[in-house]
Amino acid sequence: MANIQTLEVPIRGMDCVECTQHVQHAISKLDGVKSVDVLLAAEKAIIQLDPEKVGLPAIRKAVASAGDEYSVPETNETLPNQPMGDFNKQLITLLVIVFSIVLSIVIFGEWLGLFKLLDSLVPFPVGLIIVLAGGYPIFRNVIRVTFKGQIISHTLMTLGVIAALAVGEWVTAAIVVVLMRVGEYVENFTTEGARRAVKELTSIAPQTARVERNGEEIEIPVAEVKIDEVVITRPGEKIPVDGEVVSGEATIDQAAITGESMPVEVTKGNHVFAATITKLGSLRIKTLKIGTDTTFGRVVKMVEEAEANRANVQQFADKFSTYYLPIVIVIATLTFLISGNPLSTAAVLVVACSCSIALATPVAMLASIGGSAKRGLLIKGGKYLEVLARADVILVDKTGTLTLGQPKITDVISLNGLSETEILTLAASAERYSEHPLAEAVRVKARIENIKISDVEDFEAITGQGIRAKVNGSLIEIGNRRLVSIPDNLSVVQNLEETGKTLLFISRGKQLVGILAASDTLRSEVPTSIIELRKLGINKIELLTGDNERTASALANQLGIEYRASLLPENKIEIVKEYQSKGHIVVMIGDGVNDAPALAQSNIGISMGAGGTDIAIEASHIALLREDWTLIPEVIGIARRTMGIIKMNLGFTAVYNVVGLTLAAFGFLPPVLAAAAQSLPDIGILTNSARLINQKK
């Protein structure tokens, strides 16, 4: 069986969606390449290949063959992303002004007959040289791809130039060439605007670290920091690694990870993340993760690779662009056959704008995904935004999702003659190795009561039920009714459950000996966020919990939502499938650990508080990097606004091209004005999509 490896190759020179298609086609044809995704914003290709059949030299050669402007650096390193600064509306304004001036000169020059005068004063051979010199880079690329059987947008405009030269109008051809070059700049600017959010994100990463070595503090590149090495940060400095504070106290700005503007206090034992900033105080940090393994590194990588998860509407646009160019050639041919006017034919070829169709979706998606990442919303691809925009059912886990996930033991009920201390000793000892939040609550209660925990044997965690272990030779079981048998008429159980508390039943030797009641705090922002979700038209919100009927009912009634209780993880999957079978688009919100199967099965899985949690980030389609329920209606709103802007982009470009082609075919739009008009849709798309980068809540 072939040893398939994944290789990330940086690629320079790509400045349009059409570029990525050419590069992807060239790489995919190599023997040994299983799959390839070329990412415009990240300027790289992610390739799955058989290293015994294909290597970097062959890939480099294939990329070069796709176009003279494309290249792979000699070293297989990620291209440096330089900070772009804030999105400057003045740049767009300046671009529009400059283009308007050029357009005005062209219009008035045509109207006043200045171009015909220039045509009569300058000999045609001189004009031909001017055209060839000005358009040489474009003409060369068109000739190269033509020999490979490919048609690009510049192919059409080049044919328009040839048509103008054929009837002796070199001035018209020259102006078309000038506007082709202007159009290239506009498209490059548009693409760079789409990349901006990703580049701003990567520019946040710290470059150096101050470490303790041999009793001294030295500053080294972040890449040279070693695991378990102690890093020192001072006020105003970025934390370069993910790690654990070993000494010191500080106020940390975690906006780079969570998007939260409020600083947090950290001290010994707390975890900190790379790219966050020490505001007040100094820290000594034990390094746990560096580089791309840090939470920030994973966020950047996922934002870069989100482009590979293309939305269906984007795939449609890509396919449409492939067929659009041949259709334009057919229209141009019919125009010439019917009218016999070569200039009208040239105008048809020149005005056709396939780039704007291809750009309509990815520019908006990249702007939205990159902008969202800075606000603590990690969206793994455009296809998830597209699906989320149509969501109509939300299913919610309880512990760690609706609640803070920090339950506290409020009641200790002893039965069969055991004291409360004995009950806590048995429970804390048995729960010694459990990772469940309720187990931690039991251990905390034991520490508060200064209870000594006994040794444990044969520990077993039973999913959706509880735990089983031997303590001092006795079999101890702690869990819910599915694990521990309880009498039907225990009034204390009913009373506690009706207050919304979660109960842990404790048995020794299969005999019920005690009950622990735990209470978790509802997130304060949940009620308001649910109201916002209903304003968005999502009326089906349902709590899915392993708690019993009375506990679930108390919480659900408090929030005004539906509920299903006493569920196992597999039951949650069945409920997701139930809604999906009825045609609903299901969003599952969970903590990304116990709910991972349901998150994966849902149309959109959203994990809460994914900062630093590998399982949470991997299991979900969208990860909230801070535990804040206001992000739920916010991300749905972002999805809907993004799809609205994409539809506007596509509608605008479709109408623009139809009108332009019609005017050109009937002789109302001369080639000069057609060339000038060709770049206008790119400016419109950039301006419209830019609204997604810094959109408000």
pLDDT, tens digit (0-9, with 9 covering 90-100), for 392-446: 999 998 887 898 878 899 999 998 888 999 999 999 999 998 888 889 899 999 9
pLDDT, tens digit (0-9, with 9 covering 90-100), for 117-131: 666 677 888 888 888
Q: Give the pLDDT band (50/70/90) at residue 612.
A: very low
Is 591 part of the annotated catalytic residue set?
no
Taking phi first (over 0 means left), then psi (-120 to 50 degrees means alpha), and beta for anything else, what does residue 466 get?
left
DSSP of 522-543: BPTTHHHHHHHHHHTT--EEEE
What is the CATH number assigned to the segment(s) 5-66?
3.30.70.100
Distance CA 629, CA 624 (A): 9
Q: Active site residue: 397, 520, 547, 595, which one?
A: 397
Residue 87 has pLDDT above 70, yes or no: no
Rounded percentage of the chain residues whose pLDDT exceeds 90: 26
- Region of poorest pLDDT, from 99-113, 161-175, 258-272: 99-113
pLDDT, tens digit (0-9, with 9 covering 90-100), for 3-43: 788 888 888 877 666 677 778 888 888 988 888 888 776 67
Can you give the pLDDT at residue 517? 93
Residue 156 has pLDDT above 70, yes or no: yes
**336 or 405, higher pLDDT:** 336
Q: Which burial class, exposed, middle or buried, applies to 553 when counting CB atoms under 10 A from its CB (0-12, 13-18, 19+)?
A: middle
Can you give the pLDDT at residue 84? 36
- Region of poorest pLDDT, from 113-117, 118-122, 317-321, 600-604: 113-117
Distance CA 78, CA 648 (A): 34
Distance CA 153, CA 182 (A): 14
Residue 359 has pLDDT above 80, yes or no: no
Mean pLDDT of the 54-61 span: 87
CA-CA-CA-CA torsion sign (224, 225, 227, 228): positive
What is the CATH number assigned to the segment(s) 408-519?
3.40.1110.10
Can you give the pLDDT at residue 407? 87
Can you give the pLDDT at residue 201? 64
Nearest to 270 by CA among 292, 242, 289: 242
Mean pLDDT of the 338-363 span: 79
Distance CA 598, CA 401 (A): 14
376-403+522-639 has which fold? Rossmann fold (3.40.50)
- Which one of 3.40.50.300, 2.70.150.10, 2.40.340.10, 3.40.50.460 gives the CATH number of domain 208-300? 2.70.150.10
pLDDT, tens digit (0-9, with 9 covering 90-100), for 458-491: 999 887 789 999 998 899 999 998 899 888 778 8
Can you give the pLDDT at residue 164? 78
Q: Give the pLDDT band (50/70/90) at residue 662.
A: very high
Are the CB atoms for 274 and 295 separated by under 8 Å? yes
Residue boundaries of the structural domains of the chain: 5-66, 90-199+303-365+640-692, 208-300, 376-403+522-639, 408-519
pLDDT, tens digit (0-9, with 9 covering 90-100), for 483-538: 998 887 788 888 888 888 889 999 999 999 999 999 888 899 999 999 999 999 99
Task: Tell me the residue type at 157.
Answer: M
Mean pLDDT of the 559-580 span: 91
CA-CA-CA-CA torsion sign (382, 383, 389, 391): negative
User: Who's near 65: CB < 8 A, 6+ residues apart?
Assistant: 26
